């Protein structure tokens, strides 16, 4: 299924992703962050290792988007629920090796992330209440002191 078929509007989401292939030693984070812009889906693949120096998707080379910690890549996702062949190059062995993996993004797990999560509205209200109390309490205290005199 495509982003259009899933009726995904431009925005930030998460989705479960499964990985097959390789030696079984490396893993990727799931759920993963995905973004949709102009109908195109991009997934943020976070590896359990810092030794991946590039990924190949449909013949296109993608470099890590981070410089510290475990390797992170932003790669295109053409379809959900369909196995997607990718190659990841690891430098963890004596010489670099390209390893083939298959990633599958589950359409039934796509959820809105970020400000659409519902909690942020409650957090914003609580923050505004705290600010209002912090600003107005000294004013009320001064007014009460003036009344006592």
| One-character DSSP codes across 78-103 | --SSS-EEEEEEE-SSSS-EEEEEEE
User: What's the domain range around 42?
Assistant: 11-114
pLDDT at 50 over 90: yes
Q: Are residues 65 and 26 in the same domain?
A: yes
Residue 4 within a domain: no
Task: Give the residue, 114 or 90, on which the prediction is more confident.
Answer: 90
Supply the mean pLDDT for the chain: 85
Q: Are residues 95 and 133 in the same domain?
A: no
Largest CA distance in the chain: 83
pLDDT at 121 over 50: no
CATH code, 76: 2.60.40.1850
pTM of this structure: 0.73
Residue 3 within a domain: no
Model confidence at 92, in pLDDT bands (50, 70, 90)?
confident
Q: Are residues 108 and 131 in the same domain?
A: no
Residue 5 within a domain: no
Q: Are residues 106 and 143 in the same domain?
A: no
Task: Give the residue, 13 or 146, on which the prediction is more confident.
Answer: 13
Q: Are residues 69 and 128 in the same domain?
A: no
Q: Are residues 66 and 134 in the same domain?
A: no
Model confidence at 24, in pLDDT bands (50, 70, 90)?
confident
Cα separation, 52 vs 142, whole angstroms:
62
pLDDT, position 142 = 74
Residue 2 within a domain: no
Model confidence at 127, in pLDDT bands (50, 70, 90)?
low
Residue 1 within a domain: no
Residue 23 within a domain: yes
Mean pLDDT value of segment 93-105: 92
The structural domain count of the chain equals 2
Q: On the CB side of 86, how many CA atoms lie within 13 Å of its CA?
A: 30
């Amino acid at each position: 299924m495509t982003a259009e078929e899933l009726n995904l509007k431009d925005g930030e989401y998460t989705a479960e992703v499964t990985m097959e292939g390789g030696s079984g030693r490396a893993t990727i984070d799931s759920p993963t962050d995905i973004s949709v812009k102009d109908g195109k889906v991009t997934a943020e693949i976070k590896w359990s290792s810092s030794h991946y120096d590039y990924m190949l998707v449909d013949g296109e080379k993608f470099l890590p988007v981070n410089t510290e910690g475990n390797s992170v890549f932003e790669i295109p996702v053409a379809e959900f629920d369909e196995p997607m062949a990718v190659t990841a190059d690891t430098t963890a062995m004596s010489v670099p090796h390209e390893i083939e993996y298959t990633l599958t993004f589950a359409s039934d797990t796509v959820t809105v992330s970020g400000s659409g999560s519902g909690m942020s509205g409650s957090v914003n209200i609580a923050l505004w209440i705290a600010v209002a109390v912090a600003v107005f309490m000294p004013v009320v205290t001064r007014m009460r002191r003036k009344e006592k005199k």
